[in-house]
Structure 1
């Protein structure tokens, strides 16, 4: 994907880099992509270990990265006009294997999910973009689920803020729970909400959650069962109530699968969910390309109806996202080392391969941003 220079929309791609993760990436790749992300021009490679998830602050002047299997988060300054990164240092997260991070609505704190040590951390964001030491560390309580290897204890996998910014909802794969937390905007202290948690189906392994842009509903991707669950969301109480569960794979699928990512379109009409064949064992995946399930959203009830599945053209789509204008979906195939572009049909939700593919080592996260 190449294009002439002149636009200032950039993409940041995080990757697996270490042998333990079969990583072939180099770190964070920076691309100039244009307004529709239809032409990618490489700008920079920032070499570092396992930048597994990325987040840009609300001023778009700083970028933060958690490092899978390690114990810290890194900060970077975004160069105005180009989007290139310069390092600002790093801070320990108070736990192991940080898997996700989110900038608080106040832009004063960063929330981090420590996947392997069952905790959520808050770190202060300083005026110059640097990170202060951990402000608070909250351990997530509960009994592990029944899966003998994947549910040995608490395993939070995501820490997104709710649409109104009042709460964080934390899917915990190890405990089969969705925790609702509050972050005090002044001292950065974490606490449980009025309804501290919601139990999922046994051995669901909730991984990620997304909220409908208008309706009071949320959707989880359940990694271990490869299902999508619809929840009614009570924003006042911070409470979730499950109303529907559907398979994210084809109903006739019999092979091993681990669900990966979930997202709702900006107009709220469709939900997408990725499936990773073979992701529960030590093989590279397959034997065929993995898929993204497409679901139509009922405007009246918020529930889902399956409308199709699209091959990602590769292996293990740990992550996907929409482009800057919402008209394209980009699937990061971790084990086949590609980012595949799909046009989104606004009427049917169908995904159509655009014919464009970016080759890059072990991509696991893509973040688009307009440079300041």
Structure 2
């Protein structure tokens, strides 16, 4: 009995040490193939290594985008299904073990939900229903979050007219992202099908219509450019947007819900449409560098230095992701590594990063993972 007790104590101490030295990584995925849903991994930030055996696998259908609450107690996942089956799931995160426990799943009232954001106060989840088909087209759905973390039925839904510039991809609205401003007062809906970013004021005191059009109510982008994802600088004075179809990145001056374009740069050096599929973009923890993915035949990350005064970009590096279709990527909490979810080559690639220069270095690890689509660190 004493030997067993000693063994348990030693194992517990080892587990606590591993937890202190590492971070937990959540991976969302597409489940048409071998993937089962959401995966929890341990990530060693000293070695840049994802433990090959997951801590937990949570069954969920096409959980392609993940949202972790600010207090790290809740996880929301969009279930990217079409034909009127788009849903959103809620999970509790155990404060001690990090174990995910399902709370509920609810309809998003749209097809192919691909992105979501949680209001700063935790009261509402804003869901971007992309909708592959032009009818009924994409939409922005607002779902209340109950005190226990469960999602409640949609209370508001917004739709936008498409641009029709590209007859194949813009015959309907395609809301690709719903992003909050750093002050939590505005929601920005990037609509690939409309060539616009729509701006809404957020008012938690109106339970029936938490969102109302801002003034101006939208920001127009070049015809056929296809706005995709938006990210704000920590100070809220600049915002950066990927244009998926034209493979460009746009720099905006941001103030009180307005976006004024300051700069636009290409991500591809050719006019070949196959090389134009801009995707995710993320800022470094210190706000000095911007990283942008371009998929298609390019399959690379672009690195930009950010002017500390103007927020404008200077190209620094092109780096292959050594795989196919980098749908999402993230920087680890230490800032020393970039993890890339290569959806079509079924792997997560870990790349070394120089915190001082922003440049990407050698590949540290390639982990087999079926159809990864999103990466989020919990701690």
* CA shift for structure 1 position 187: 3.4
Over the residues paired in the alignment, what is the CA RMSD in angstroms?
1.8
The SS at the match of 1:7 is: helix
Q: Secondary structure at the match of 2:213?
A: strand
Residue 122 of structure 2, aligned match among 81, 96, 107: 107
**Structure 2 unmatched runs, 5+:** 1-13, 132-136
CA contact (8 A) 2:351 2:361 kept: yes
User: How has the CA–CA distance of structure 1 residues 81 and 133 changed in structure 2, closer, same or farther, with 3 Å as cutoff?
Assistant: same
Conserved in 1, the CA contact under 8 Å of 2:48 and 2:352? no
Instruction: Please point out which of 234, 237, 243 is paired with 1:216.
Output: 237
Report SS of the residue matched to 1:159: strand
Alpha-carbon spacing, 1:259–1:37, altered in 2? closer, same or farther (3 Å)? farther
Under a length normalisation based on structure 2, what TM-score does the superposition of the two structures give?
0.88
Q: Which residue of 1 aligns with 2:56?
A: 44
Does the 8 Å CA contact 1:37/1:323 hold for their aligned counterparts?
Answer: no
1:37 CA drift (Å): 8.1
Contact 1:308 / 1:350 at 8 angstroms: preserved in 2?
yes
Checking the alignment, whether the CA contact within 8 Å between 1:7 and 1:34 is kept in structure 2 is no
**Length-normalised TM-score, structure 1:** 0.89
Alpha-carbon shift at residue 365 of structure 1 (Å): 0.2
State the Cα deviation string for residues 49-76 of structure 1 (Å, max 9, x = none).
1101011112211111101124110111
- Residue 174 of structure 1, aligned match among 171, 189, 193: 193
1:183-204 Cα offsets, whole Å, 9 max, x none, are 2213342211121100001111
**Distance (whole Å) between structure 2 residues aligned to residue 88 and residue 187 of structure 1:** 25
Between the two structures, name the one with larger relative contact order (CA 8 Å, sep ≥ 6): 1
Which residue number in structure 2 is paired with residue 124 of structure 1?
A: 144
1:163 aligns with 2:182: yes
Q: 1:102-146: CA deviations, max 9, x gaps?
A: 110011111101111321111111121111111211222x34241
Equivalent residues of 1:221, 1:261 under 8 A apart: yes
For the 8 Å contact 1:14–1:53, the answer to whether it is kept is yes
1:11 and 2:25 aligned: yes
Asked if 2 retains the 8 angstrom alpha-carbon contact of 1:292 and 1:312, the reply is yes
Q: Which runs of 5 or more residues in structure 1 are unaligned?
A: 278-285
Structure 1 48/97 Cα, relative in aligned 2: closer, same or farther at 3 Å? same
